[in-house]
Structure 1
Amino acid sequence: MALESVDGAALGRWAHACVDGLGRRCEEINRLNVFPVPDADTGTNLLHTMRAAAAEALGTADASVREVSAALARGAVAGARGNSGVILSQVLRGIAEAADTDLLDAGTLRAALNEAAVLAAEAVSVPVEGTIVTVLRHSAAAASSCPPEATLSGVVRAAAEAAVEALARTPSQLSALGLAGVVDAGGLGLVVILDALVGVVTGETPERADLTAVVPAAAAPVPGASGPVVPAPGCAEDTGAQDYEVMYLLADSDDRRVGELRTRLDELGDSVAMVGDGAGAYSVHVHCSDPGAAVEAGLAAGRPHRIRVSCFVLDAQRRDRSAPPATARGILALVAGDGAAELFEGEGAAVLRYRGAVTPAQLLAAIRAVAAGEVMVLPNGAMSAQELVAVSVAARDEDHSVMVLPSSSMVQGLSALAVHDPARALVDDAFTMSEAAANTRWGSLRIAPERALTLVGTCERGDGLGLIGREVVVIAPDEAEAGRRLLDQMLAVGGELVTLLRGAPVSDDLVLMLTDHVARNHPGVEVLVYPGGQDSDLLQLGVE
């Protein structure tokens, strides 16, 4: 059933749906990116901006639309990348400016889109027809044209359909697009965002597979064009003189100094875009040949921070060297044993196979060998937290994100990998995988290598040891008795599935005996046995 209004929780779901949608179409949007600079990063910039917005809104699920939308706007302005990200931040700010109640209904959405269109047009010094700003304007106009009695679902559908129609016309409005035979990349990103809102409101996200099917102007007329493709008014399409993209956040300023900064940046370069979050923070964007002068201009206007300078030539060289796409996500698992390595590789993970200790240098090399812009590491208890943090910091750079997940054993790592979804945002995927690992109680069955004092007494060499986590909880004369008692303890608080990861020295008889023990004493609990091949444990056990 379609919603008549959207509350704060639903608005938060929309933000995550936007991240998912942009993630799926990121590379497609990047390929369309030919204006104002063909740097193939519009999809990446939109995705980064929306992720920043969603991250800022985490923890506001029970808040009002006003509070959630304000958080989204703050996050988007602070995390905006590129012209497209700057414009997206104003779409979110438009909602925040219009949201004067606890709910977003049809009237609020009309006002929000109109405000977003005005803010987006004001953001750029020289508006150009055929861009995301144009698509947003037509979408807002369609929403405003809906009758007063229109429902929220009717308004959002009209806005999305108008965006699709406006997107199809962009090649006839902007010569760079028409000659390349593509629609505007940022405009496609806006369609994805509006379609995500349709999905939240109606329960059904539109499927649009042919949005980029355009014939180059040099070969044939562009569909929907009313005449020949003409150069974009007011904007030079030859951006070769501008070698750098400069972005920073500006604080401690005011409207007068922000206006003076815009004038100065217009003198220094082009593609100038400046936006605020409505709470005193500004995001500044310019393409120029003198990045130092652009930053100095910011110093005269306030306090620039989070300064980011990109060189178009170097970025192009990186792409030519086939650098991994920033949105590709890889999993690196640290594993002990050939069987375990096959299990993780079978689930799509890269593996660092080790015997004994793993050094930070080995892990750093393995992370850098993963061909992905985002790398999630499943350490599986192989290294200390301090070493993992140090390596992950060393491995991060402008083009690579590294996230270490809290998997303390290989069985926890397998549980995490089972719920991995590369279509989700990195933070959402990491949360889901971490939760799966945390919900897997784990233990191990070992033979005591020597006499030692434990929390439950003194063990002798050759005793069977049962561990939960890293603590010995069972000492028995043999491994069979230790295994039975360990399973009973781990299942005493419940469980539906036991995973047994077999070590190299374990016998088939021991595995069969423990499987039968679970069947007899814990009815309804399923047991799965996998080859691990680890040397240290007879068995690793996971209970879910």
Structure 2
Amino acid sequence: MNYSKINGENFYYMVINASNRLEEQSDYVNALNVFPVPDGDTGTNMSMTFKAAVKEIEGINSTNIGEVSKKLAKGALMGARGNSGVILSQILRGISKGLENKESVSSKELSEALQEGSKAAYKAVMRPTEGTILTIIRAAGEAAVKSNKTDITELMNEVCIQSKKMLDKTPEMLPALKKAKVVDSGGMGLLIILQGMHEALKSDLKASIQNVSVKAPGAGNVSAANNLNDHDIKFGYCTEFIILGDAKNANKFKEEIESMGDSMIVVGYEDVIKVHIHTNDPGKVLSKAVMLGELSKIKIDNMREEHRELLTKEDYKKAELENTIEAPVVAESKKYAFISVAMGSGIKNIFEDLGVDFVIEGGQTMNPSTQDILECIDKLNAEHIFVLPNNKNIIMAATQAAEISDKDIRVIPTKTIPQGITCLTMFNPEAEVEENVEELNSNIEMVKTGSVTYAVRDTEMDGIEIKEGNILGLIEGKIKEVGSDVYDLTESLLEKMVDEDSELITLFYGKDCEENKVNEFLSKIEEKYKDLDVQCYKGEQPLYYFILSVE
């Protein structure tokens, strides 16, 4: 099909088809991860981010491309997961800026919007690295503005061709890609999106959203259904909607509905206020909301009814007998609060014991979204809230959440579980916030972190040949040991980490470790390092046999 202009309806089908294609090929994108450890989640993060974006525009009744793109960008912003997802959300935000207030656009205007997407992505990254998704969106934007195509289908074809050529060059830009003989995974994800958009125009596809399973707010912190009964659900209706009105009214509206329920999120962004609340009177909430503007995307679920469907009759009767009604708890105001990200029940318990208010389940292969972090922020009543991501791929989503929130959020860029624990143990509740921020950032460098996992593919890194199934030992994220026995390799890894200044060794063992073998290993390590304090905890973390720290 030929298009001299495209409107909101055309754009809607373009991005829906792109989302479907990315979902279909997310495993392939994951497989391009050059690092052989089990954390290749670029495709998953990009797909879930893009699905959150298209979910936001699902069923939209508008032909205004500016309006559709703005809602798409906001959905991506809230649903962004991992570094690749956050960068993708910024690309969509830039494109939205380029399409703002437009009913339809020409090839020239779409080209300029793509270039705005490139600019926004580069601004979002402190130290941009070429050979990544950034390079591909830059190539797409440059190809678009240089093109003389007036037909938008032809323009998108040219954009895809030039983006593919640039993607093929990424191994020459990043040595790790060249060694692994793959192209950049984030760049491939973006190319799939661009190709999906082109395909929708070329074949005049009226695509519908396939298999959209966007994680609901707070889904990272759910307990088993059979541990609850109806009485535990104090507010029975999960109510979500969007107010099309001035975001400056978000805080005032939050105060107005605060007493009407719990699990409340009220986030304002430009001319949109996104609301989520558990309440017993959705009508009352909506009647207040409509005073601020037109309501959209209204969704009300009866949580008690959904809960009963999850329980068998026997479980339900048992729950009825065993549980009692408890009064809702209102968060007390305090000076400091903490949010941390971790995987493994043992590690989660350690963070809670150290005073963390919310531990979001997540880490390798399961990065929480911006909205997951925002929900926890919104539940806290504190002057200053510290967020410990404990994973390099979560820092950008945490930072994005901090920028959206109207509270004082301090993201400490912890990349490992031991770094997060060290920050908590060194935190001084009597000190002022800036003093604590400076101290925690310096404390990150005090701890050496190691981890023991397994290889998910054959590869070669830094002259080391790695076979699928090999046990891998990493120090600060870099592979230092390759072997076949978990405990022998862990011992060798510790030898590389311990030096004359070391005082403390801490081990967190994962759910795949046998406790009796761990105890034998611990005795060996204690004997070997008699002058050091050796601690061992049952972390229950997946994927990693051991997480180690030396201080």
TM-score tier by shorter-chain length is: 0.3 to 0.5
**Which structure exhibits the higher relative contact order, with contacts defined as CA atoms closer than 8 Å and separated by 6 or more residues?**
2
Higher-Rg member (1/2): 1
TM-score, with length taken from structure 1 = 0.42
